[in-house]
Amino acid sequence: MKLDILAFAAHPDDVELSCSGTLIKHIKAGYKAGIVDLTAGELGTRGNAALREKEAALASEILGVVARENLNLKDGLFGIDENSRLSVVRMIRKYRPEIVLANSIRDRHPDHGRASSLVSESCFLAGLTKLVTELNGEIQQAWRPKAIYHYVQDYQLKPDLIVDISDFMEDRIKSIMAYSSQFYNPDSKEPQTAISTKEFQEVLRSRALENGRLIGTLYGEAFIVERPPGVDDLMKLR
User: Does 184 score more than 90 pLDDT?
Assistant: no
H/E element, 72? strand 67-73
User: What pLDDT score does 187 carry?
Assistant: 85
State whether residue 7 is helix, strand or coil.
Answer: strand
H/E element, 37? strand 33-39
Q: When comparing pLDDT for 186 and 68, which is higher? A: 68
CATH domain 5-228 topology = Rossmann fold (3.40.50)
| pTM for this predicted structure | 0.96
> 186-207 b/e with 16+ CB inside 10 Å = b?
eeeeeeeeebbeeebeeebeeb
| pLDDT per residue as tens digits for the range 166-178 | 999 999 999 999 9
User: Does 194 score more than 90 pLDDT?
Assistant: no
Q: When comparing pLDDT for 1 and 30, which is higher? A: 30
Percent of the chain with pLDDT over 70: 100
Q: Any idea where the domains of the chain sit in the sequence?
A: 5-228
* Residues in Cβ contact with 30 at an 8 Å cutoff, skipping those fewer than 6 apart: none
Count Cα atoms within 13 angstroms, Cβ side, for 124. 6
C-alpha separations of 119 from 55, 141, 192 in Å: 24, 18, 31
| pLDDT per residue as tens digits for the range 39-50 | 999 999 999 999
Q: Which pLDDT band holds residue 123 (cuts at 50, 70, 90)? A: very high
Any idea which of 4-18, 91-105, 162-176, 191-205 has the lowest mean pLDDT? 191-205
Strand partners, 34: 6, 67
User: Does 238 score more than 90 pLDDT?
Assistant: no
Give 29's DSSP letter.
T
Strand partners, 222: 162
User: Does 100 score more than 90 pLDDT?
Assistant: yes
Give CA–CA dist 58/189, Å, rounded.
23
User: Does 102 score more than 90 pLDDT?
Assistant: yes
User: Does 189 score more than 90 pLDDT?
Assistant: no
User: What pLDDT score does 113 carry?
Assistant: 98
Q: Please give the full DSSP string across 77-89, using - where no structure is assigned.
A: T--SSHHHHHHHH
Percent of the chain with pLDDT over 90: 93
Q: What is the mean pLDDT of residues 181-198?
A: 89
Average pLDDT, the chain: 96
H/E element, 212? helix 200-214
User: What pLDDT score does 101 carry?
Assistant: 98
